[in-house]
Amino acid sequence: MHSFPAPALELVEKMRLAAKDDPARAIAFQGAPGANSHRAVMEYAPDALPLPCFSFAEALDAVKEGRAGCAMIPIENSQAGRVADIHFLLPESGLSIVGEYFMPIHHALMALGDGPFEAAYSHVHALGQSRHYLAERNIVPLSHADTAGAAAYVKELGDPAIAAIAPAIAADLYDLKIIDRRVEDTEDNTTRFVVLAKQALDPASLNGDQAMTTFVFEVNNVPAALYKALGCFATNGVNMTKLESYQKGASFAATMFYSDIVGAPGDPAVDRALEELAFHTKEVRMLGSYRSARERG
């Protein structure tokens, strides 16, 4: 699949034309209209012009090329963990994180018919977040590029025995029946989104607000290098709320670490920690400082 299903294309074109007329107000997102990322854009910035993109890379390119003022990208989910590809795309995008948003995720089962259903299409994360619900009903999970795209695809298929799992707004957009609401397996299913723009926020503008800073780093290839790197934050009292590793290239000899810390450059403790980190790393790349949307610690 390299494009949106036919029922989504008309909506996509309308939204792209609106964004073209006022790109500064446009927020690019991955997915078809009605996706969770679409919903997140409208909740985060109700006056924005949502710009649907087929892939994460396309959403980031829309910002780099000036077709959107920023992009809103899911980075992690409380059930499914980190979103694939994002840790590779963000550092190479040249964009900066300027905000974050936490959104409760609620899935609905929707279809043309009333059931029973043989299978349900959705994004792989939504299928994983609803796996017990599907298994109990002997509904086969089938992967699609995104949740709302799955709803549009079910509309296009025209098969009443095939359902989709998507946000409830997708049923309205694609004229499907909502068979069941809240089909996610846990009530606290939450996705964290980050907002990316060409221009980074000046850390000084965050004074008085709880800030987060995100960066990636590669440690020196010596024993206990990671231990020493983490000690920079521990000894300076800087709270590290996230640390994830991923491979750099195909050699499996260079590991990058993606990290979130509480605070921002300009805070003496953060400045000391980052200065010390430079001694234990080959590379440190800042991805942005921004206001925290949720209390940490």
Residues annotated as catalytic (active site), given as ranges:
191, 193
> Which residue do the tokens 């029922």 mark?
7
Q: Record the tokens describing residue 108, joined without a space.
A: 């609905």
Distances (CA, A) of 22 to 47, 66, 169: 12, 10, 25
User: Is 247 strand, coil or helix?
Assistant: strand
- Cβ–Cβ < 8 Å for 212, 267: no
Checking DSSP bridges between strand 70-77 and strand 190-197, what pairing results, if any? antiparallel
Q: Which of 206, 111, 201 is nearest to 150 (CA)?
A: 111
Q: Partners of 293 in the beta sheet?
A: none
Which candidate, 11, 25, 7, places its Cα nearest to that of 62?
A: 25
* Residue 45, C-beta contacts closer than 8 angstroms, at least 6 positions apart: 27
Neighbours of 58 (CB within 10 A): 15
The helix (H) or strand (E) run that includes residue 148 is helix 147-157
Strand arrangement, sheet containing 281-291: 240-247, 255-262, 211-219, 281-291
* Secondary structure of 94-146 in HEC code, one letter for each residue: CCEEEEEEEEECCCEEEECCCCCCCEEEECHHHHHHCHHHHHHCCCEEEECCC
